Every structure is written in C-alpha cells, then in structure tokens.
Structure 1
C-alpha cells in the first residue's frame, strides 16, 4: 500500500496584497519623483517612494516571520522543500529576464540606434533630418538639446565596488561551507563580513551617484546614456539592498540557533540570490563602465 507525504497548505494570507500595494507605491513614487526633478514640484513622488519601500520592508518582515514559524513547527515535508527550491529558481529566472530586458535595450541602442543616427545602414538622409551633427560614439555625452555630460569612468568607485562584491561572494561561500560542517562560530564571522561588504557597496554607490550629479553632470536627464546608466545601476542597487536585508535576516536566525547542516534551504536561497546579484554586477561593470 503506497503512502503519501503530508503537504502543508498554508491558510489564506494577506501578504501578497501588501506586496502589491508596496510595489505600486514604489513604481508610482519613482515615476513622479523623476518628473519632480525637472519641475521642482511638491515631493509627492519621494513620499510615495519612501512609503512603498517601508511597505516592502514590512512585507519581508511579516512574511519571513510566518514562513520561519511554520518551518520551526515542523509543518514542511521534503516535498514542500522541493517546492521552495523550484519557487526560488523560477524567481531568480524572472530576475534574469528583468535585467535581460535592460541589457537588451542597452545593446540595441549601442549596436543599432547609435550607428543608425550616425548615418549607417543607408540612413544618411534620416540622419541629416533627425540629428545633423550627431557623432556615433558611445557613451553619448551630448544630448539632443546640446547639453554635455561626462561618462562615469570604470576605475575608482566602480572598480572598488566590483572588488567588494567579488570578495563578498567568497565570504558567503565560506559561510555556507561552515554551516554544512557545523562550525557555527566561523559561520557567524563569514556571514557578518558578507553583510558588511554589502553595506559597503551601497555606501560607495551613494557616493558614486553624488559624484555623478555634482561633478560629472551625469543625471537622469543626460540623454540615453544617463537613462541606461541609472536604470541599470539603480535597479541593481535595489537588489543589493534586498539581498543585504535577506542576509541580515539569516544572521539573526543563526544567532537564534536556526539551521542545521542538513536542513538550511533558506540560507541556500539567500546564497543563490546574492551570487546572482554579483554576476549581474560583473555584467554591468563590463558593459556599462568598461566597454
């Protein structure tokens, strides 16, 4: 007679609605905040953006707490564990597609739009009409209005941040190995170092943005180069922020004695996400800063 594993079905939850509200506020706030930079209107966008970010933080706290409590109560079976793994895999795949869209836009602009405006692909007449004095170079440091800006160099803060994220992947790997070997002390040290490196990355990125706005004249209004630069690096910074919160949550759980060498998928999920964020940054560093 065959036996079936118990599969826990959670009760109805309001957390998805909270998440939808938070994401809506962030999208609404971000769009209006960008518009307010040009018009200097009331900071409704910034307020909505901040409210959305706080809502997402509340969502992460509440939803994480619910899942942790369910796990500690022994409600999850191996089949549920496989569902978690599949869910995290699909989530990361969706993030790959998310960044793939932005990288695709960057490649299309550089490989097709810029040469086309420069007169290639038999578009000389169109080039003369749309932008007669256009120079087909990248990055585009001159906007259609005639404003000029400077490109962000790859050395300096971007290079430091690249080194920081590469080191953070190594420290997180050592933390994972320590957990699998039951070395709780080493686990805490390596994970705390990873968190500090993540915070250091965010700190330097803020300084990079300040440098871009105040010294280079590189803003969201700096044509297609400024748009792609801030969209790609900004969304990546948001993902680093989420990943750092994830790691801090894992660290708190470790302090409470959670996770075992043979049962720690939450830690694995955090590692997958962090390594994915690191790989995205390497692509960013090469295609946005270096090339």
Structure 2
C-alpha cells in the first residue's frame, strides 16, 4: 500500500528556494558602477563596460521579479504575512530613496543659500539663464499630479471589482508619465546650460535628472502591473505589486512638488 505523505507548513512565512539572481544582480551593479566611473572619466572602454553592466542589471532584475510574480500568482506563497513583509521592504526602499534625494537637495541649498564668490555671489550664477518655471515645469506638474489621481482611481476600481475602469486608469497614468518624460527631454534639449556649467548645472540636472530616472522606473513598474491586471493575475484582495507601484508613484509625485518649488521656482528668483 502506498502511503501519501503530506507536508504541512506550520508558519505563514515563505522560505524561498536558493536563487542565483541576488548574486548576479550584485555583481552586475558593481560592473555598472565601475563602468559609470570609467565612462565619466573618459576611459576608452568605459562606455562598453557601462552598457554591459546596465544590460546585466536589467536582466537580473527581470528574472528576479519574474520569480516573485510566479511565487505570488501560481504557487500561492504570498500569505498576508508575506505581503506585509514585501510592502515593508518597498517602504524601506522608498525611505532610502528619500535620503538619496535629500543629499541632492542638500547640495542645491548649500550652493544657493550662500553663493560663493567664484559664481558671482548670486543665484542663479552670472551667465546662467534659468528655465521659466511657469512653462514646461508647470505643465509637467499638472501632468504628474493628474497621473497620481488616475492611478489612485485605478486602484479603487480594482478593489471594487471594476476591472475595466482599473485598466483605463492605469493606461491614462502611463500615457501621462510618457508625456511628462518627453516634455522633460524637450526641456533639456532647449536649455541654455548643461550639466558641466558649474554648480548650477550640476545641481539642476542631478536633481531633475534623478527624478526623471525615477519617473521612467515608476512607469515600467506600473506597466508591469497593467499587464498583470489584463492577464487576470491581480484580484480585489491580492494586488500587492500594484499597491507597491502606486506607493512608489506617489513618492515620485511628492518629490516633484519639492523640485518645482525649490529648484524651478525659488531657485530662479
């Protein structure tokens, strides 16, 4: 007689199987950092190393997140405790991002509140023509705040079981985010200064460029959630990945408000 042996798990946590993606991502990030330093210092093969590091990092993250989606959607490993742990991880990640932007704002206010004599003792420095805050920056503010409203609408629609409205809200959010990124690229191409134009150029492009990178990442984050909604992978009760993307997107919104007020408006007066 064959004995059926059932294994019961006596705790609500998910003990993941050994995975190669963390170590791959770690070395890929190291490669990416070394390539960025070499490229910025004009070494011959710096651009190639930077490109390889970026490709490997992207590849590792895709495979890693794919496994997490499989664990959540098909294997049923994401219990309430697991989801709470993942959300706490996202929150801590956003906290680390807040400190990254804090360092950029620190550099900006350090230079703008007490301008050095080398830049003419004025802010913006002499010779710099700042961008009009009530042109593209103001339009981008409306776009980003509107996208935050639409993603919240999509979230509440999903909770209410209105799948079509959830998809529509997320699609509008992605469109607004793409328009925002396109307008920021146009703004950069039309600006009368570059990142190499002293401390003003460095502070401006470091702050707005870092935010632009976060907008692109957040757009991809939300796009993945959209694909999962379309494929019936997210339900009214289980949509932790979607909630994480919304939390990240609201963080991007708030940072932009600080950037608009400090860098574009106050920093230009």
The TM-score, its normalising length taken from structure 2, stands at 0.88
The 2-side partners of 1:27 and 1:232 are apart by 19
The 1-side partners of 2:146 and 2:160 are apart by 21
1:9 and 2:11 are equivalent in the alignment? no
The 1-side partners of 2:189 and 2:259 are apart by 19
Shift of 1:286: 1.0
Residue in 2 that maps onto 1:236: 211
Mind listing any 5+ residue stretches in structure 1 that lack a counterpart? 119-130, 142-147
Counterparts of 1:59-98 in structure 2, within 5 Å, are 59-72=60-73, 73-98=75-100
1:105 and 2:111 are equivalent in the alignment? no
Name the stretch that deviates more: 219-228 or 195-204: 195-204
The 1-side partners of 2:130 and 2:236 are apart by 47
Shift of 1:86: 1.2
Mind listing any 5+ residue stretches in structure 2 that lack a counterpart? 1-8
Residue in 1 that maps onto 2:49: 48
1:283 and 2:258 are equivalent in the alignment? yes
Residue in 2 that maps onto 1:182: 161
In structure 2, the CA distance between the partners of 1:7 and 1:48, relative to structure 1 (3 Å rule), is same
SS of 1:232's partner is: helix
SS of 1:221's partner is: coil
Residue in 2 that maps onto 1:127: none
In structure 2, the CA distance between the partners of 1:83 and 1:105, relative to structure 1 (3 Å rule), is same
Counterparts of 1:244-263 in structure 2, within 5 Å, are 244-263=219-238
CA displacement 1:212-271 (0-9 Å, x = unmatched)? 2xxx1x112100000011111111111111111111111111111011112211111000
Quick check: 1:5–1:79 contact (8 Å CA) kept in 2? no
